[in-house]
Structure 1
Amino acid sequence: MSTAYHSQYFAYELTKQSASNTVGRLSQSLINATVDLNPHQVEAALFAFQAPLERGAILADEVGLGKTIEAGLIISQLWAERKRKILIIVPPPLRKQWNRELIEKFYIPSIIMESKNYNELVREGQAFPFEQRDNVVITSLQFARNKSADLKRTQWDLIIIDEAHRLRNVYKKSNKIARILREATEGFPKILLTATPLQNSLMELYGLVSFIDPRLFGDETTFRKQFGHGTKEMTKYDFLDLKDRLRPVCHRTLRRQVTEYVPYTKRIPLVQEFTSSALEWELYEKVSNYLQREDIFALPKSQRNLMTLVVRKILASSSFAISDTLLSLIKRLDASLEEVGLAEEIENIYNDIDELDSTVEEWTEENEDADQNEDDDDRATEREELLREREELLSYYNLASSITENEKGKALLIALTNGFEKLRELGANDKVVIFTESRRTQAYLKEMLEQNGYHGKIVVFNGTNNSPEIKEIYQEWLEKHQDDDQITGSKTADTRAALVEYFRNEASIMIATESAAEGINLQFCSLVVNYDLPWNPQRIEQRIGRCHRYGQKHDVVVINFLNRKNAADRRVYELLDQKFSLFEGVFGSSDEVLGSLESGVDFEKRIQKIYQSCRSADEIQEAFNQLQVELDEQIQCRMKETRKNLLENFDDEVREKLRTHYEQTTLQLNKMERYLWAMSVYEGSAQAHFDSGQLSFRLLNSNDKYQLISQMKKNASSDHVHHYRLGHPLAINWIEQAKSRKLPKKLIQFRYSDYEGRVSLLQNLIGNNGWLSLDLLQVKSAEDEEHLIFSAIDSNGNQIDQELCEKLFDLPASELELVEDDESGFAYFGNQISEINKQQESAILWGIQERTNEFLDRELERLDKWSKDLKDKLETDLKDLDAEITQLQKEARMVRQIAEKLELNKTIREREKQRSEMRRSLFDAQDEIDRQKEQLFVEVEKKLEQKISRQHLFLIRWEVV
């Protein structure tokens, strides 16, 4: 049984802010997370806090190690500290994934900011929609660029940029989006997430670092001269200098370093070949040739590239899908002939492809000619051509409608038989997720599979999820989970969760569109079928990553479909398989490969261009050969050795550090969980019935059941239970209740005899007694820290150390009233306790001072190097000008033509004049650099000023029985 004194102590321990050199810095986020955290993730999050966070860090762990979780830990900790102005900037396809992971894994709400809701908020009177009170803001790179002025207005506590390698070429003037975002986010702390911070040039590192700390290096020219030519041309001193400068801002862990904690299974590729029927191939060839024509009326010019991509996806999917698409194009031409609205049929085509909005922003980056007016006089004059095109499309539609079965669909039945046989060999569940690009194909596959032995074994998953069957699954799920925390209140998120649960417990087959390729966990499934294969390698990796992920117990079988008649499709598959290594091995596609792309959309556009421009088999082969050569150049990764030497630490060194973090994190979590439970039992005794065996409780007035997250992780099947955690409203109220209580002096009788464990140090205190004071010390300096200081003595006047005092509060205890002798006893020992408190405080402040001095030394060294870089540039420019003048003088002596000699001497005099001016201004410029350096030092000095506050919590007389 605890006391009010235990409860208050635990409440302060649970909420105190620790220094970033201990795992305690992440206490609140560790105990709030619903995922099992790996030590490398804790290490990365702590690194970011030590960076220091007012500037930020680059987290560059290899693919698959959970950089989103690392960022989530940082966000969760700041959220617990009430620092909630947080912005996440990501590529469009990752917005929903971040939104779901924050709420599911950290209980942090977020809003995806895009044009539609941004404009709605403005109309509702919210002048600055990015300023959200209790929502993390998630937005795309493109939307952030467009609203850069808005970003500057908010005083962000943290900005996270995912897939940050897209910005690494910010030093190039052509990379406008990166330059705008760097300027818009300047001055705010940032975390950059990328598996490939360095791909082709050291200048890329300069670009990324300039987002975090513009004063880590002098300027672009200086960096290029000193480091930009690569490590082979560098002196050993320059290389060590570069590594030393990068160490505080860039953190990287490799997959091979974490296999002790993160087991990986393999990918096993299978290819299912099929041959299109004569009618299917005729349809493909005719529609493909139609799409290659420059002037067609059915596709709007402003969206020509995107629309062509969409139609090609649908064409490759099934005749049933392209049939409806052709009908929409015909209706669009009819509308054009009748001069009525055209947009609806385009929407119908787009609606067949899920998650298309994720790529629209990136595909519309091109300067396509916009339609001035799609039903203007120009179109009217071409009525005859338009009618001919309509007849042509109608013939294609009739051809498509005449096809009653697809050879590809028949091949799926063979693929499933082979796939399930392979799963049985592996000992895995008979579960398969089939990915298709088209909702219409999805409907066809469901019907076809149901007619071939799979009736009642199928669940579909798409962007609408609104069929009667899905609604029924959703309603049953709601009823099942009405008494637990599975229900988020978001119908979209809850429907997705219901479908995943139904797939896990009831169905054998999930037929999914692209909307299932992100944000859901299918680790219980070991077979992925790419019925339609995207051209974007990053999308394929996302698909397979639903199953091939941390927690997967079996090797994952990946089946891809190949049309024997389609030469272009075969070459695309070869590239994805052999160049991108997507389908085989332990880790899937390597960082070198996916990181070489900048964006998978770029590759998608290259493939699209080949399909659009090549008309013969020879042209197709030549175009793909050229693309392969370019990919080889990109993927060979000239900087691989440099990246290894600059950014990676020795495996043994990393593994030892991770083991230490694993032990510290486990101890910290166990301690925090004990404190949270004991505090809750005491503070909530009048509101709930507590079951300490299950670490759960039921509220008396509602019968709702709550359980600590750790217990729920052990009992994954526990339904109808709310996740109880530090950030839960009940816990927040009880902590506040405990902290606000004024505690009088009392006798606390600690009962070692009732303690289940055995601690020899505590055993030695049995029969002893004394006095104990608890105080809170708050220090604001390089970082904010809080320390709980125990000052205690026994009846003989011997000091009881801090660790032993903490262990005392692990014992059950009772509160008793003091007697007169106790008061006189305190009068005798009071000064000694006060002196102990001062000594404890001095030791803490000395430790903080030492860390502050280290921080100051690093900052001074950083500023010294920055100013030296700038001064060296001035000296170098002067030397370069000297060398140019010398060369010109040499050339002038060799010239015999008077006119040319005079012209050269005129140039020499101009350069000499320029040199004189540079010499005169050199010292002024150096003085200006020193002035800036001094100003920056004053700013650093202000940050390091110590502000100390003290709060006495309670004083007790103690005894151990």
Structure 2
Amino acid sequence: MEGNLLLEQFSRYKKLELEASPFHFLLDANIELNPHQINAFCAAIQALKTGGIVLADEVGLGKTIEAGLVLKYVLESGAKRVLIALPASLRKQWELELEDKFGLESVILDRLTVEKDSSDWRKRLTDNKSVRIVLTSYDYSSKLMKRFPEVKWDFIIIDEAHNLRNVFHGTKRAKNLYELSKGIPKILLTATPLQNSLTDLHGLVSFIDQRIFGSEKVFNKRYIEGQDYSDLKRELSPVLYRTLRKDVAKYMNFKKRTCKTVDFTLSQDEIELYQRVNDFLKRELLYSIPTSNRGLIILVIRKLLASSSFALIETFEILKNRLEKLYEGSKSANAQEGFDLFWSYVEDEIDESGFEETEDEDTIVQKQFIQAELNEVNIIIDVAKRIKTNAKVNALKTAIQVAFDYQLEQGIPQKVVIFTESKRTQKYIAAELRKTGFEDEDILLFNGDFDDAMTKEIYKAWQVKNFGKANYGRSVEYKHAIVDYFRNNAKILICTDAGSEGLNLQFCNTVINYDLPWNPMKIEQRIGRCHRYGQEHDVVAINLLNTQNAADQRVYDILSKKFELFEGVFGASDIALGALESGTSFEKMVLQIYQTCDTTAEFKKAFDKLDRKLNAKRDKKARELRSLLLTESSGAKEQALDTTKSDIARYLHDVEYWSAFDEPEVDSGLHYWKVDNWGEKVLGSHGILFIGAFCDSSKLLFPVLLLCDEKGAYIDFDEADLVPELEQIDDMDVRYFTPTESEMKLYQRIYDNLTAEMVKRYQEQSESIKAYNRRKIENWERIQMEQLIATYQDMNAEIDVLREEERASDNFYEKIDIRKKITEKSKALEKLQESFHEKGTGFKAEGEREIAEFEKQFDINPILLVNIVLKF
């Protein structure tokens, strides 16, 4: 900005402040600026000072974006080692998002990768000169921390954190990660932090800081038995941030989604194939499938059975190969070739020990069984090969026509994205569609492998077109190339679930589920590729339904009605998805029904039971519990989002305004300037303006424009009031002056007063976080005492039971034995009672120590750095 000496001097400090602002990370992130995400980010960086936060926005509101912003902030603040623990199936998606949206490089680590070169990984993880962001499955996260105990982790993100809520009674992986990550700042991401009971919250919040709620016993007593919900909300408020989709409807224009089904019936050969595979999978003894992973592999085969006969051939060839090896006498561990194909379909951890079974059965008997099973596998392969076309593909052609007709009518670009779970089916669908007249360039296949000729050509062309632009890394660029090609050239994108991760297809309004996963979360992710922020048209989800199969129809009804996946503005509702333990657990419940039921009546009974189970989790009580997560009213939420929206606008305006100023020509030492005829015009009086910064030693805390009257009394005008007035000053009117001795004394007095004023202002900024920490520690002291009292009551109750036993016994020796126990327990009880005061004092002292330690970080060496003293 041309000439304004005073504002130029002030811009020196203002630019530093803007760069240090958390909003600074919005400038180079490739994201939309949505107020709820910025609010969540600000809440998180505040909460990190006291352990962390659970970010619990509803599905589809961008928790990954919030986490990415926090991650940028943490790295800028000096963190070197970040661990991101998440379901194995989401690792690739996170790697792409971090690179694409935030320009951050991460590495996926698992046991095989690390053990291949453990000394090199130890070196890389302990080298603090470089930043290392590690993505790993829940299961391996704690194993990695144990494997390299010398690695100091600075920050942890746990995605889909509801999977770890049973930390104190449930999975070992949750307990291990909890123990190893104590004291490391972390954020947990989940749309459903409360699923079945309040104890879910206890588990998740304990990951942040176990002192907030104390032991489960104390938590249950206060919140479950005592139903002290107002206190619970108060305790949750600093450690849980949640936004519902209805809260942001005015910022994010969500379109509706609707659903259509296209029915089909199987041919005779397809019915035979279905029956044979179904009977095969229900066999009690199966040599072709490793024992410990049987459930998962059967689930995959059932998925492929619903996909296409062509996908099944490949699968049964793998089983055949295993059976032939076992028949020859190979160990199970040597007969696992090709099984990695199955792992790409499952989201659970694979137990590799399942391949190391011992063979203790009589070999001759075993060989007979293996031969019989091999015969059946060969018949299944023959029947599958007999089938030249699937009935379902004709239904798909109808679905595409329905979509294109509707799009033509509505003036929408003719485009559909087709989802299948199998690469083999993907190729088969493309071949069948080309036979019906679609050109090669109309159809695009994508599965994340980047290995077919067409996608390689598309990528090369994209690279040429985007030469010299930001380099995102190969896998992210590939996805950009695919999305660009689909937007501008192709009509049909045939995608696998793995391939679709990280694709944003809001320019396409139709999703066709060629095969429908049983996992509601996966369907939500599929539709969410198109039904997302930025979509301009209502989204249509088309499902293909086998009308002969009552079980398939029933599953579809549950997915459609119970989970509300296919209708409405927001897709799968929070309450509906909250009824799930997890998507994979629902999948397993459905698999169990397919595996154990034979008749229509059995299927009906089993699905009715599943229905009732899901209904029970959506009752009034479930809704009431979920309302506890809303720690502020919708009015307050709306106001907070409006405030943030204007804060962001002001920040972006400030960046633009202050960056227009050149670097000041005058140095940052102390200068005395004066200007005539300004004070009278602006304030109606004379006075002094101090321009500079308030610092902690040499670190800038905030820039200052401090106005005083001519007697030195501070006038509380803020920057927004003063800057427009300073713009009016002409540089020609500004000149140096030498202060008199009495002026110097006045300035010194004013300086001291202003320093005290700025210290007060700084302390007010940190007061809320200090108060929260004090309350948390005092709460912990109270919990410890409650725990002592509960232990005392339990011991008393045990003595009462023993006394009852003594009265009831008519055996002299037994009575003596019981009395001895009573005496021992009474002594222990007395000892506990005597220690009450001492323990209470100990808790108090420990609490005070922690409070003092925490508050030390806010101590400063205050310096008011004055650059210009302006007399007017």
Q: TM-score, normalised by structure 2?
A: 0.88
> Where does 1:408-807 land on structure 2 (aligned, <5 Å)?
408-424=392-408, 426-455=410-439, 456-485=441-470, 487-488=471-472, 490-636=473-619, 638-645=621-628, 647-676=630-659, 678=660, 774-779=691-696, 786-790=701-705, 803=719, 807=723
- d(CA) in 2 for partners of 1:763 and 1:315? 86
Q: 1:153 to 1:600 in 2, by over 3 A?
A: farther
Q: Does the 8 A contact of 2:254 with 2:535 survive in 1? A: yes
- Alpha-carbon distance in 1 for matches of 2:324, 2:391: 33
What is the 5 A alignment of 1:105-254?
Answer: 105-120=101-116, 122-124=118-120, 126-127=122-123, 129=125, 133-149=130-146, 153-172=150-169, 174-229=170-225, 233-234=226-227, 238-254=228-244
State the Cα distance separating 1:52 from its structure 2 match.
5.0
DSSP 3-state at the match of 1:631: helix
Structure 2 CA distance for partners of 1:776 and 1:378, relative to 1, 3 Å: farther
Q: How does 1:92-103 map to 2 (within 5 A)?
A: 92-103=88-99
1:39 paired to 2:35: yes
Greater alpha carbon shift after TM alignment, 552-561 vs 84-93: 84-93
1:926 aligns with 2:850: no
Farther off after superposition, 314-323 or 467-476 = 314-323
SS at match of 1:359: coil
Verify: 1:359 aligned to 2:382, yes or no.
Answer: no
- The superposition leaves residues 699-722 of structure 1 with CA deviations (integer Å, 9 ceiling, x where unpaired) of xxxxxxxxxxxxxxxxxxxxxxxx
Q: Distance in 1 between matches of 2:87 and 2:619?
A: 25
Q: CA deviation at 1:180?
A: 1.1
User: How far has the Cα of 1:605 moved from its partner?
Assistant: 2.1
CA deviation map 1:788-834 (0-9, x unaligned)? 1245799999999662797369969999999xx73546999666666
Question: Compared with structure 1, are the counterparts of its residues 562 and 812 closer, same or farther at alpha carbon in structure 2 (3 Å cutoff)?
Answer: farther
For residues 135 and 428 of structure 2, what CA distance do their matches in structure 1 show? Answer: 36
Q: Which moves more between the two structures, 520-529 or 933-942? A: 933-942
State the aligned residue count: 866
- 2:393 is the counterpart of 1:403: no
Identity %: 35
What is the aligned partner in structure 2 of residue 690 from structure 1?
none
| 3-state SS in 2 of match to 1:218 | coil
Q: Secondary structure at the match of 1:932?
A: helix
How much does 1:276 deviate?
Answer: 0.6
Distance 2:71 2:144 in 1: 23
1:945 counterpart residue number: 859
- CA drift at 1:547: 0.9
Amino acid at match of 1:13: K
How far has the Cα of 1:116 moved from its partner?
4.1
Alignment of 1:306-345 (within 5 A): 306-337=296-327
Residue type of the partner of 2:548? K
1:559 is displaced (CA, Å) by 1.0
Distance in 1, Cα, partners of 2:248 & 2:723? 33
Query: Is the CA contact (8 Å cut-off) linking 1:222 and 1:870 kept in structure 2?
Result: no
* Shift, 1:159, TM fit: 1.6
Cα deviation 1:669-709 (Å, max 9, x = unaligned): 22123334x26xx5xxxxxxxxxxxxxxxxxxxxxxxxxxx
Residue 199 to residue 384, structure 1, CA distance change in 2 (3 Å)? closer
Q: CA deviation at 1:185?
A: 0.9
Does the C-alpha gap of structure 1 residues 95 and 928 become closer, same or farther in structure 2, counting only changes over 3 Å? Answer: same
Larger mean CA deviation between 888-897 and 213-222 belongs to 888-897
SS at match of 1:33: coil
What's the CA shift for 1:283? 1.2
Alignment check: 8 A CA contact 1:434 1:531 kept: yes
Say whether the 8 Å CA contact 1:28–1:80 is kept in structure 2: no
- Coordinate RMSD, CA, aligned: 4.0
Q: State the SS of the aligned residue for 1:534.
A: coil
Q: 1:203 to 1:620 in 2, by over 3 A?
A: same
Query: Which residue in 2 is equivalent to 1:60?
Result: 56
Q: Secondary structure at the match of 2:54?
A: strand
Deviation, 1:131, is 6.1
Task: Please give the alpha-carbon distance, in whole angstroms, between the structure 2 residues aligned to 1:74 and 1:266.
Answer: 31
What letter corresponds to residue 261 of structure 1 in structure 2? Answer: Y
Secondary structure, aligned partner of 1:859: helix
1:56 touches 1:190 (CA, 8 Å); kept in 2? yes
**Offset at residue 528 of structure 1 (A):** 0.7
Measured after TM superposition, the shift of residue 480 of structure 1 is: 0.7
- Deviation of 1:125 (Å): 6.2
Q: What is residue 262 of structure 1 aligned with on the other side?
A: 252
Rounded Cα–Cα distance in structure 2 between residues aligned with 1:780 and 1:198? 46
Cα gap change, 1:519 to 1:125, in 2 (>3 Å): closer
Checking the alignment, whether the CA contact within 8 Å between 1:762 and 1:804 is kept in structure 2 is no
Q: Deviations over 1:77-104 (max 9, x none)?
A: 2333343433222222222222222222
Q: How far apart are 1:499 and its partner, in Å?
A: 0.4
Instruction: Kindly state the Cα deviation for residue 400 of structure 1 after the two structures are TM-superposed.
Output: 1.6
CA distance in 2, matches of 1:538, 1:763: 67
Shift of residue 67, structure 1, vs aligned partner: 1.7
Unpaired runs of 5+ residues, structure 1, are 19-23, 683-737, 751-759
CA gap 1:551/1:826 in 2 versus in 1, 3 angstroms: farther
Distance 1:620 1:900 in 2: 56
TM-score w.r.t. structure 1 length? Answer: 0.81
TM-aligned CA deviation for residue 629 of structure 1: 3.0
Q: 1:602 to 1:936 in 2, by over 3 A?
A: same
Residue deviations 1:122-180 (CA, integer Å, cap 9, x gap): 343634637672343222211102223257644443222111112222122x3321111
Contact 1:434 1:512 in 2 (8 A): yes
Structure 1 residue 289, shift from structure 2 partner: 1.5
Structure 1 residue 778, shift from structure 2 partner: 2.9
- Measured at CA, do residues 946 and 69 of structure 1 come closer, stay the same or move farther in structure 2, by a change above 3 Å? same
SS in 2 for 1:53: helix
Q: How does 1:1-80 map to 2 (within 5 A)?
A: 1-2=1-2, 10=11, 12-16=13-17, 25-80=21-76
Q: Deviations over 1:655-679 (max 9, x none)?
A: 1221111111111122123334x26
Instruction: Find the counterpart in structure 2 of residue 847 from structure 1.
Output: 761
Aligned position for 2:279: 289
Is this contact kept in 2: 1:196–1:595, CA < 8 A? Answer: yes
| Counterpart contact for 2:162–2:193, Cα < 8 Å | yes
The 1:742/1:383 distance shift into structure 2, 3 A limit, reads farther
| CA 1:627–1:178: 2 relative to 1, 3 Å | same
Most deviating of 397-406 and 129-138: 129-138
Shift of 1:495: 1.0
Is 156-165 or 297-306 further displaced after alignment?
297-306
Q: 1:401 to 1:370 in 2, by over 3 A?
A: closer
- For residues 294 and 485 of structure 2, the distance between their equivalents in structure 1, rounded to whole angstroms, comes to 40
The DSSP-based 3-state class of the residue aligned with 1:329 is helix
Distance in 2 between residues matched to 1:741 and 1:413, nearest whole Å: 74
Quote the Cα distance in structure 2 between the aligned partners of 1:871 and 1:561: 61
1:931 counterpart SS class: helix
Whether contact under 8 Å (1:432, 1:510) holds in the other structure is yes
Cα distance in 2 for residues equivalent to 1:831 and 1:749: 18
Which amino acid in structure 1 is aligned with residue 404 of structure 2?
F
* Map of 1:703 onto structure 2: none
Shift in Å, 1:888 = 6.3
* Partner SS for 2:511: strand
